[in-house]
């Protein structure tokens, strides 16, 4: 049975993002919550894939990014989030769509570091087939003050904007604004898909709790092969192609 309706597929294609409620049950969220903490507190050693997206030189990580958790824990690929988000991604973009990479992004309490406006395409090599989407799953409630995601509708239809790198090997940034964008608060277990070209950002976390998100990224199998042939597996340093 399809997970999402034809109307939802049409909305994603038109607007460049799509909210999907209750992809995971509370019990499933509980599994990911415990696992996530094992990554954050280094019980699972992800040192070589871990960095601070805020580009801060300080001792405290503000925005922890852990790339490719499923490389360290391949069983994740069979778990509900990867399986369900892949099914939805195929519905959104076609049967040739596969998982390219996954990641964890946590905004630590009271760190107040924004994720700057960017289009994910700026992080990737130029690919002839532009179909791509990320699925951003809330492990904690996500809302404005702890850094829920903001998207600029229809921005995936415009050309890639110029991006620059922030801080010490931090996130890429371009021009963007909350004024013409929508914020998507989420309950744990709900998610948002956004297209590779969709402009997005999040405010900093000014609350006393973590803001944990798990993200899967999808594109055509042939484009993943093209990336791998060029040595791209999303485990290395952040780069800009502009
Ligand atoms: O979690 C965040 O603040 C940023 C996430 C993001 O940029 C993405 O999933 O593409």
Residue 102 CA, ligand 1 centroid: distance in Å: 12
pLDDT of amino acid 59? 75
pLDDT of amino acid 117? 97
Q: Is residue 234 part of a domain?
A: no
Q: How many domains does the chain have?
A: 1
Measured from the CB, is residue 140 less than 6 Å from ligand 1?
A: no
pLDDT of amino acid 231? 93
User: Using CA atoms, how far apart are residues 189 and 82, in angstroms rounded to an integer?
Assistant: 13
Q: Is residue 148 part of a domain?
A: yes
Owning domain of residue 101: 6-229
Measured from the CB, is residue 101 less than 6 Å from ligand 1?
A: no
Measured from the CB, is residue 105 less than 6 Å from ligand 1?
A: yes
**pLDDT tens, N- to C-terminus, the chain (242 residues):** 568 999 999 999 999 999 999 999 999 999 999 999 999 999 999 999 999 989 877 778 999 999 999 999 999 999 999 999 999 999 999 999 999 999 999 999 999 999 999 999 999 999 999 999 999 999 999 999 999 999 999 999 999 999 998 877 788 999 999 999 999 999 999 999 999 999 999 999 999 999 999 999 999 999 999 999 999 999 976 555 54
Q: Which atom of ligand 1 is nearest to the CA of 147?
A: 3
User: Using CA atoms, how far apart are residues 47 and 164, in angstroms rounded to an integer?
Assistant: 25
pLDDT of amino acid 237? 67
**Helices marked H in 150-239:** 221-229
**Helices marked H in 94-150:** none
SS3 of residue 156 by DSSP: helix
Which of 63, 105, 118 maximizes ligand 1 atoms within 8 Å of its Cβ, making it the mutation to test the pocket?
105
pLDDT of amino acid 4? 95
Q: Is residue 94 part of a domain?
A: yes
Measured from the CB, is residue 197 less than 6 Å from ligand 1?
A: no
Q: Is residue 136 part of a domain?
A: yes
pLDDT of amino acid 120? 96
Residue 144 CA, ligand 1 centroid: distance in Å: 14
Q: Is residue 238 part of a domain?
A: no
Structure letter (DSSP) for residue 183: E
Residue 48 CA, ligand 1 centroid: distance in Å: 20
User: Using CA atoms, how far apart are residues 131 and 95, in angstroms rounded to an integer?
Assistant: 12
**Helices marked H in 148-236:** 221-229
Tell me whether residue 42 is exposed, middle or buried, using C-beta atoms within 10 angstroms of its C-beta: 0 to 12, 13 to 18, 19 or more: exposed
Q: Is residue 51 part of a domain?
A: yes
Q: Is residue 154 part of a domain?
A: yes
Q: Is residue 242 part of a domain?
A: no
End-to-end CA distance of the chain: 42
Measured from the CB, is residue 134 less than 6 Å from ligand 1?
A: yes
User: Using CA atoms, how far apart are residues 135 and 192, in angstroms rounded to an integer?
Assistant: 6
Which of 63, 202, 212 maximizes ligand 1 atoms within 8 Å of its Cβ, making it the mutation to test the pocket?
202
CATH of the domain at 55: 2.60.120.620
Residue 201 CA, ligand 1 centroid: distance in Å: 7
């Amino acid at each position: 049975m399809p997970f999402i309706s034809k109307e939802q597929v049409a909305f994603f294609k038109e607007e460049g993002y799509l909210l999907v409620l209750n992809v995971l049950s509370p019990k499933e969220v509980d599994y990911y919550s415990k696992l996530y903490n094992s990554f954050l507190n280094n019980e699972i050693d992800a040192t070589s894939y871990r960095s601070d997206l805020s580009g801060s030189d300080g001792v405290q990580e503000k925005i922890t990014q852990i790339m490719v958790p499923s490389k360290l824990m391949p069983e994740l690929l069979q778990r509900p989030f990867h399986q369900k988000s892949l099914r939805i991604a195929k519905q959104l973009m076609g049967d040739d769509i596969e998982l390219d990479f996954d990641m964890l992004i946590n905004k630590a309490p009271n760190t107040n570091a924004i994720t700057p406006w960017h289009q994910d395409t700026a992080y990737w090599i130029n690919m002839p087939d532009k179909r791509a989407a990320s699925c951003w799953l809330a492990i904690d409630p996500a809302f404005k003050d702890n850094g829920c995601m903001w998207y600029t509708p229809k921005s995936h239809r415009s050309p890639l904007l110029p991006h620059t790198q922030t801080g010490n090997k931090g996130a890429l940034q371009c021009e963007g604004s909350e004024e013409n964008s929508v914020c998507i608060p989420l309950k744990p277990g709900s998610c948002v898909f956004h297209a590779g070209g969709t402009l997005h950002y999040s405010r900093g976390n000014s609350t006393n709790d973590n803001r944990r998100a798990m993200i899967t990224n999808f594109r055509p199998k042939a484009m993943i092969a093209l990336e791998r042939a060029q040595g791209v597996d999303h485990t290395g340093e952040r780069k800009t192609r502009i």
